[in-house]
């Protein structure tokens, strides 16, 4: 993160505005990945689920996303889902509009379909493709977005790979190096990011890392980042995986990111995972990046995190603008 971006984000926080926005622009996805948090019954707090929401298409979707962007004025917006490329025509139309507003745009997809070749050269646009480990594991979990399909759909593009590390991967020595050996030599890959599987409170799943595996992962990533320059994870960020925030209140990412679901009104809380995530086992790369910034000490002794917390309190004192009323036609559908 550049200093100018930190200063801009700080200004938004002081105004009571989240500098970062994430929108589940569709409830649809052609995949059925095991453990997908977006389709968990508790993702939206119980009661309604993502699939139960009334979502938007066409111009209504484009207008709805731009309305939120104009109201919140974020510095960064993530278009997620479901899979946002289910609505690729709408995404193609809204991306230039968002970029023209000076917003950095990130599209998170399984690459189950191709996307506009122009996206590879657009400044401040990042297409992030989710890949769940090596081909035999990924292809079982993520069909029809298999390795072969991804390789075909990203040809000539410039993408970021995001992969979530699980307990199963950590039990096989050399797994992450093998993954990086496969992907990083390809011209299409700009960078690679790893998150760690984040459970909900009370979960007991094979995907979860043990404490020992988490500490071993930190050591392993510190070595891998030197061997694979496309592994875009700073040392300070990697070290944060050893000490996750512990609760949403202490999480810089959760307090600076507003997450809207597919009806463009329902907020996903406390963070993009929804439900009741186990913050003591959080593995979100964005969270670790912001925790690393918060841990930085200005003039050698004032933690940025302390300034941030005071700024959030000041921002919360501003009166909040009212949310717009829902589109009555959508409510009746």
Q: Which residues bind ligand SF4 (CB under 6 A)?
A: 29, 31-33, 36, 38-39, 81-83, 110, 198, 244-245, 248, 251, 253-254, 270-271, 273, 277, 279, 282, 284, 287
Taking the complex as a whole, the smallest distance from the CB of residue 142 to ligand SF4 amounts, in Å, to: 7
Distance in angstroms between the alpha carbons of the first and the last residue of the chain: 43
Measured from the Cβ of residue 173, the count of other Cβ atoms closer than 10 Å reads: 10
Return the axis-axis angle of helices 304-316 and 3-14, rounded to nearest 10°: 30
C-beta of 77 vs 228, nearer to ligand SF4: 77
DSSP state of 241: T
> Which residues touch 249 (CB under 8 Å, ≥6 apart)?
255
Nearer to ligand SF4, 38 or 264 (CB): 38
Cβ closer to ligand SF4: 228 or 253?
A: 253
Distance of closest approach, residue 259 Cβ to ligand SF4, in angstroms:
10
Mark out the alpha helices in the chain (DSSP H runs). 3-14, 58-72, 88-100, 135-142, 147-153, 167-170, 175-183, 211-227, 235-240, 252-256, 285-295, 304-316, 328-332
Whose Cβ is closer to ligand SF4: residue 228's or residue 244's? 244
Shortest gap between Cβ of 31 and ligand SF4 (angstroms)? Answer: 4
Q: How far is the CB of 32 from ligand SF4 (least distance, A)?
A: 6
| DSSP string of 280-308, one letter each residue | GG---HHHHHHHHHHH-EETTTEEHHHHH
Tokens read off for 323: 């949310």
Minimum CB separation from ligand SF4 for residue 319, in Å?
Answer: 25
- How far is residue 271's CA from residue 150's CA, in Å, rounded to a whole number? 28
Instruction: Look at residues 317, 323, 306 and name the one whose alpha carbon lies nearest to residue 14.
Output: 317
**Residue with Cβ nearer ligand SF4 (71 or 113):** 113
Taking the complex as a whole, the smallest distance from the CB of residue 56 to ligand SF4 amounts, in Å, to: 17
Cβ closest to ligand SF4, residue 18 vs residue 277: 277
């Amino acid at each position: 993160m550049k200093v100018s971006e930190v200063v801009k984000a700080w200004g938004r926080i002081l105004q009571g505005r989240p500098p970062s926005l994430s929108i589940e622009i569709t409830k649809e996805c052609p995949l059925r990945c095991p453990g997908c948090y977006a389709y968990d019954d508790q993702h939206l707090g119980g009661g309604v689920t993502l699939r139960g929401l009334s979502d938007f298409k066409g111009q209504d979707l484009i207008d709805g996303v731009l309305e939120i962007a104009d109201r919140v004025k974020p510095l960064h917006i993530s278009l997620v889902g479901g899979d946002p490329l289910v609505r690729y025509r709408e995404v193609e139309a809204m991306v230039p509009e968002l970029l023209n507003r000076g917003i950095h745009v990130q599209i998170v997809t399984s690459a189950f379909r191709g996307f506009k070749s122009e996206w590879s050269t657009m400044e401040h646009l990042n297409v992030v493709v989710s890949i769940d480990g090596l081909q035999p594991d990924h292809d079982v979990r993520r069909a029809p977005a298999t390795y072969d399909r991804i390789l075909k759909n990203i040809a000539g593009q410039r993408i970021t790979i995001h992969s979530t590390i699980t307990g199963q991967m950590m039990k096989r020595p050399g797994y992450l190096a093998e993954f990086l050996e496969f992907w990083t030599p390809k011209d299409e890959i700009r960078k690679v990011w790893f998150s760690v599987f984040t459970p909900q409170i009370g979960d007991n799943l094979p995907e979860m890392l043990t404490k020992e595996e988490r500490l071993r992962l930190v050591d392993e990533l510190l070595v891998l980042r030197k061997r694979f320059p496309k592994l875009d994870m700073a040392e300070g960020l990697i070290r944060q995986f050893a000490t996750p925030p512990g609760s949403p209140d202490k999480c810089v990412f959760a307090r600076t990111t507003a997450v809207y679901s597919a009806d463009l009104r329902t907020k996903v809380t406390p963070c993009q995972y929804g439900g009741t995530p186990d913050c003591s086992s959080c593995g979100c790369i964005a969270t670790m990046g912001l925790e690393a910034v918060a841990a930085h000490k200005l003039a050698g002794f004032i933690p940025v995190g302390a300034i941030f917390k005071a700024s959030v309190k000041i921002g919360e004192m501003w009166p909040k603008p009212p949310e717009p009323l829902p589109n009555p036609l959508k409510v009746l559908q």
